[in-house]
Structures are given as C-alpha cells and as structure tokens.
Structure 1
Amino acid sequence: MPDQPHSPRERVRQVLAGLPTPRPPLGELIIDDDLVRDLAGLPLDKPLPLAAKRALLKRWGHDLVTVAFSSGWGAPVQPDPKERLDRLRFWAEESDLFLFALVDGPFSMAARAWSWDQALIRFSQRDRELEAFLADGVIEMSEWFAALADAGAEGIILGDDIAYRRGPYVNPRHLRAAYFPFLTLVTATAQDLGLAVVFHSDGNLWPVWEDVLQTGVDGIHGLDPYASMSLALARQRSPDSLCLWGNLDVGWLMNLPDRGQIRAHLATLLGPALSAPLIFGSSSGLHAGLPLEALDALYAEAAAVASLTMDDD
C-alpha cells in the first residue's frame, strides 16, 4: 500500500530514526493468533485470516505489525518461513503499517544449535566452535535479511532473552567478549540493507545496558517491569535518539482496571519518556485470554494520555 505523509508506517519510521512524534506509535512485539481468534469469534482450529487481525489492529489504532519467524529457541514447533514471508507480503500490500520481522539473535541461535545449558557454557568459555558458528550465522543472516526486506519488512527485531530478573545469565565480561561483537555485526548487516534494528530481551539489562547501546541498535524493546527496568531510567541512561518500546505488564489488565486507573497508570509510565522517540506497547506482547474491553481502553487511553502530556509540555 502506498505511503501517506502521516501514515502509521511513517510514524514508526520517524521514531526509529531518532525523532519524537506528536503521538507515539502503538504496537506490540507479538499478538498471539489465538487471542485474535478469540476476540474475533473465530474457531481455534482453523487458519487465522489476516484480514481479521488487520481489523483488530485498526480498531486499536496500531501503527505496526510484527511477523515472527521464531517462536523462541525452546519452542517445540517453529513457524514455517515460507508462510511467514507470505504474511509479510500481505501486510506490505494490504496495510499502511510498519512491518517488523522477529528473528533469533546470536544467543538464541546458539541455544537452538546446542541447548540452553550448552549455550551458557560456551558463551562463558569463549568457545572457538561457538565463534565459528556465529560468524557463519552473520553471513546467513545477511542473506535472510535481504529476503525479508524484499518481502516488505522495514525493521528487524532481534529476539534474545539474555537476562532474568537479577541480571544477565552470563557474566557481562564474557558477553562482551563472545556475544556483543556478533550482535554488533548482525545489527550492522541489517542496517546496511536499510532495515531498522530493535533489540529485545526480557530481564534486567542494566549491567549490560551500555553494551547494548554500543551495538548501534535503533531501539530496545522489553524493559521488563519485574526486573527493575523502567522507561524513566532507560530514557535517562540512553541517547536522545534511541527509540524505547515496552515496560507495560499486560497481566495487570486481568484485574480489569477502569478507564481512570488505566489513564493514571499510563500517565505515570509514559510521562518521563514522551520527549524522545517512543513506541507504546507491552514488555512481552499480548497473549490469549486478555479481555477485549480492557485492551480497547488501554490503547485509547495510551493515545489520549500521550497527546495530552505532550500538549502540556
């Protein structure tokens, strides 16, 4: 679909280029297909019509959509790449949304190749086999990124859960030697193709925050609120050009807060970060079982609170 001057696609491009927008874009890392089926009244055992998801995103005023090419290193079933490329083409042709492709980062690639425990050991020991594997992976990712761009992707989300609540799984010193050099290469490879890059991780990233910034990523998604992460602190510790995305726990919506409670919560959450590039969304995506009424209120209030707060400035 052709771009318009103030289209959702352009709004996301702007924040990823390091510029704030009058109204921050809205969007999620992942929206579970079963959630869409449930909210749209569709059978759970049938393929999801992408038009149904498009209607839901329009209802919520989202500016982006993510197509996942990985379900995480430990998932028993992974997405079919061909089917996901078809999804990218659908969104490129049938919407004005910014398109992200979610792929594994170096840590997840290693965990899938060996195992979680083996990956931890190899990253901790500066393993030569690991280094050779990741070097080959950078070359393969370059070819894959080109295919994603050809299908319509404009951004890459590198999904790598390298941390838990207390900090990184691997000593930061070892990550600086064996992980971040490859994350930097993968980031540059995507950016050389004109793709924006967002890094995602759960957990407490403060011990390696500067290391993530030095990879050159355009944005960081996650900001796990249960791991001492916050938009306010992330904004203070980051360049003004870095796009932040996340920090909202959607599990809170299961308590069915009223509109006033949602408005107050979002004003506190978003206020310190609105003067710089920001995408509004949860820290981990939307899962099945979330109530439609609460989600409707969440995104309506997010747009309203953002606009009012920026007007006050």
Structure 2
Amino acid sequence: MDHKERYMKAVHMDVPDMVPVDGTNLDPIHAQRILGDQPMSILHLQSHADRLGFDMNHVAKHNQRLVNEACIKLGFDALMVNDWNMYPQGYRPKFIESHTFIDHLGRVFKIKPDVKTTYWIDGVVKSPEDLDQLNIPDPEEISLEILEDTLAMAGGEYPLCCWCHSVVTGPFEMRGGIDKLVLDLYRRPDFARRLIDLVFTFQLGLLRRIIDVGVDLIVEGDDLADSKGPMFSPKLLREYFFPYIKRMVGECKSHNIPVMKHSDGNLYPILEDLISLGIDGLHPIEPSVMDLAKVKMIYGDRIFLRGNVDCAYILPYGSEDQVRCEVRRCIDAAAENGGFILSDSNSLHSNVKTENIVVMVDEARRYGKYTK
C-alpha cells in the first residue's frame, strides 16, 4: 500500500495496512537538520530583496521545498501546505521596525531570530474607518506556486493536504486581539460582521482556487478553544462563525474534498456543533484537556481522528522511551477499526527535537500495523 492509499483509507474511515503518520506544519529548522540546507528568513527581504529581486514567494517556495523533502525523508504519509504561506505575486512585507512587519492582510508580526520563529503581535484595524481604508488583495492575486510545486513533488504517491483558514483567527488578528473582536460582537456587531465578511470573501475565493489545483484534503485551521473551553460563547460561535465555516465545508464537499477541522483546546462543548458543520475529521484532540480514547469511543464512527502525540513536553523534551510510549498510547486509544492518523498535538514547531520526530515515525511503523 503506498502512502496516499494508506492515508486516504484512514480519512475515509477505513482500515489501511498500518496507521498513517505525518506531522503538522513542520518547522523549516527540522528540514535544515535533516537535509543540511539552510531555510530562508523573512529578514532576507529586509536586507537583500532589492539586490536579489526576492519577494515573499521566493522565501515560501524555498522553505516549502525543504519541508517537503524532509517530510519524505522522515517517512511521512502526506505532504502539507499552509495558505498562510501564500502571498500576492511580488509581495514584500512592510517593515515598521527592524524585526516587525505588516503582512498583506493587515496583521503585525515580530521576528525572533534567536528562537527562529515569527509570531503575531497586533493588527491595523483599530476602527471602522481603518476597515474602510484596508486594502487586502484579491484572492486571484495570490500565488499558488508552493501548492503546485508540492503537488508535483507528491507525484501521485502522497496525498496533498492544504490548510485553509476561515473567519476566526484572521479577523481577531487584523483587529489587534481576540478581546477586541469579542467586544465588537457585543457593542459594534455591524463593524465585527463587516470584518468577518471581508475575511470570508477572501478565504472562500482562495479556497476555490486551492481546490482547483487538486488537493486531497482541506484542513480548516482556525483555533476555536483554549484549555478551558471555547474562546467565544457557543451562542456567538453559532451566530457569527459557524455559518461561514459551514459554507466553506460545503464548498469542499461540492468537489468531493474531505475536510479536517483543526483546533487546539477543549472542544467538548462544541464537538456536536462541529460535526454538524459537515467535517470529516478532527485534529489534534489536545492531550492535556481532551481524552483521545473518549473521543474515539463517542465520535469515532462519524469522523476520523488525527493526533495527538504531545508536542508541549514529550516531543521537545522527552526521551526516546517516552516518545515511544506516547505513540503507543495514541495508537491504543484510537487506531482500532481504522479512521486514525498518528500526528502531533499541534505542530512540529522549532522547539521539538528532530530526533524525536524520527522516533515517532519509527514507533508508528513498528507498533501501528493492523493485523489481518
């Protein structure tokens, strides 16, 4: 059984030859350690863009190629692309300080070279007037080269999975904080709705283009919860967010593309809502707040599950034995009768030990065989 058949059998709730394994948003630092090739930083655009003729798509293409090669070398069963690494043709970020820039959607990010990460800190939409003046790109302007290159590299042997965000993370990051968006929903609902509508129109247009390229799985990637529960009340989610997500899921289903919902945190209060939106799978079932075996028992006949090897402690700091035990815990909890993909509990971020990723895959192959 090749990688694609194995992975898609699990997606379609069937039993493959062994538990598929992959990783979420593998940080390019792991590709550097595995391949010996240096990833590019956004800081290259600050210092060398004019001389080299580079834009953000040069950075994204270079890093995506390294990540794809590393995923194949690690033995993953799928290749994954993220829509947040897709930019307008010729786009360069607007630096407002040496390590701080505004992206094409009006979100402010800070680069931390010492820990090799870039993180969100603010947004430019401080008022309805700012929203009036905000100029985000047309989805038709976004380069899909990293997706097309990854499809070519997959070569029919690997499924192509693509993250496509919806209407939660983008609006609150553009607004400058989730607290601001929540207050807007109560105090200025028309303003909040306009911002959400703007992001939805962009994301739906981008999703349609991504589907046209030829993907096997869409990952709707907006977080909805933290460790205590949903970040918005279920009432607000049902009124302002779920209808948009349902439309995006429906767009995928109209092209026979399955959808996996990603969200960290405690999703128990809204799991039935999420399933009613039409999703096919769930990631990551965060291990500190959700029980993988319980979710499998209650929902495992309705959705496939992907997760949930702990990337908060075990993968960054754990020993080889701890990683192997964690992999076996996940397989024991959720692999019975298929419909399970072994992966991380959020992402393979820069603080994860690369050698622990190797161990994770090895143990999945050793322990995850289905008996016939």
Q: In the aligned structure 1, how far is the partner of 2:221 from the partner of 2:277?
A: 14
Which moves more between the two structures, 64-73 or 31-40? 64-73
Q: 2:235 aligns with which of 173, 177, 183?
A: 173
Q: In the aligned structure 2, how far is the partner of 1:25 from the partner of 1:124?
A: 44
Would you say 1:76 and 2:138 are equivalent positions? no
Distance 1:192 1:131, change over 3 A: farther
**1:54 to partner: Cα distance:** 3.5
Query: Counterpart in 1 of 2:130?
Result: none
Q: Secondary structure at the match of 1:247?
A: strand
Query: Counterpart in 2 of 1:3?
Result: none
Q: In the aligned structure 2, how far is the partner of 1:281 from the partner of 1:153?
A: 19
Query: Counterpart in 1 of 2:51?
Result: none
**1:166 to partner: Cα distance:** 0.8
Partner AA of 2:207 in structure 1:
F
Distance 1:291 1:172, change over 3 A: same
Partner AA of 2:18 in structure 1:
R
Query: Counterpart in 2 of 1:196?
Result: 258
Query: Counterpart in 2 of 1:85?
Result: 144
Would you say 1:290 and 2:352 are equivalent positions? yes
Would you say 1:223 and 2:285 are equivalent positions? yes
Q: Secondary structure at the match of 2:17?
A: coil
Partner AA of 2:26 in structure 1:
I
Q: Deviations over 1:75-103 (max 9, x none)?
A: 6289x987862121112112222112212
Correspondences of 1:86-125 after superposition (within 5 Å): 86-95=145-154, 96-116=157-177, 117-123=179-185
Would you say 1:151 and 2:213 are equivalent positions? yes
Query: Counterpart in 2 of 1:236?
Result: 297
Distance 1:44 1:133, change over 3 A: closer
Q: Deviations over 1:109-135 (max 9, x none)?
A: 321442322222244569244445545
Q: In the aligned structure 1, how far is the partner of 2:216 from the partner of 2:188?
A: 33
Q: Identity rate of aligned residues, in percent?
A: 21
Structure 2 unaligned segments of length 5 or more: list them.
42-58, 86-102, 111-117, 119-136
Q: In the aligned structure 2, how far is the partner of 1:255 from the partner of 1:159?
A: 26
Q: 1:207 aligns with which of 269, 275, 279?
A: 269
Structure 1 unaligned segments of length 5 or more: list them.
1-5
Correspondences of 1:119-138 after superposition (within 5 Å): 119-123=181-185, 127-131=189-193, 133-135=195-197, 137-138=199-200
The TM-score normalised by the length of structure 2 is: 0.72
Q: 1:187 aligns with which of 236, 249, 252?
A: 249
Query: Counterpart in 2 of 1:8?
Result: 3
Query: Over the residues paired in the alignment, what is the CA RMSD in angstroms?
Result: 2.9
Distance 1:284 1:30, change over 3 A: same
The 8 Å contact of residues 4 and 78 in structure 2, kept in 1 or not, is answered as yes
Query: Counterpart in 2 of 1:17?
Result: 12
**1:242 to partner: Cα distance:** 0.7
The TM-score normalised by the length of structure 1 is: 0.84
**1:209 to partner: Cα distance:** 1.2
**1:153 to partner: Cα distance:** 2.2
**1:163 to partner: Cα distance:** 1.0
Q: In the aligned structure 2, how far is the partner of 1:187 from the partner of 1:122?
A: 26
Partner AA of 1:40 in structure 2:
L
Query: Counterpart in 1 of 2:29?
Result: 34
Q: In the aligned structure 1, how far is the partner of 2:188 from the partner of 2:253?
A: 27
Q: In the aligned structure 2, how far is the partner of 1:49 from the partner of 1:106?
A: 26
Which moves more between the two structures, 249-258 or 279-288? 249-258
Q: In the aligned structure 2, how far is the partner of 1:83 from the partner of 1:136?
A: 16
Q: Deviations over 1:242-272 (max 9, x none)?
A: 11112211331333423x4433332222212
Query: Counterpart in 2 of 1:57?
Result: 71
The 8 Å contact of residues 317 and 352 in structure 2, kept in 1 or not, is answered as no
Partner AA of 1:66 in structure 2:
M
Q: Secondary structure at the match of 2:168?
A: helix
Query: Counterpart in 2 of 1:281?
Result: 343
**1:26 to partner: Cα distance:** 1.2
- Total equivalences in the alignment: 302
Query: Counterpart in 2 of 1:67?
Result: 81
Partner AA of 1:31 in structure 2:
L
**1:58 to partner: Cα distance:** 2.4
The 8 Å contact of residues 107 and 162 in structure 1, kept in 2 or not, is answered as yes
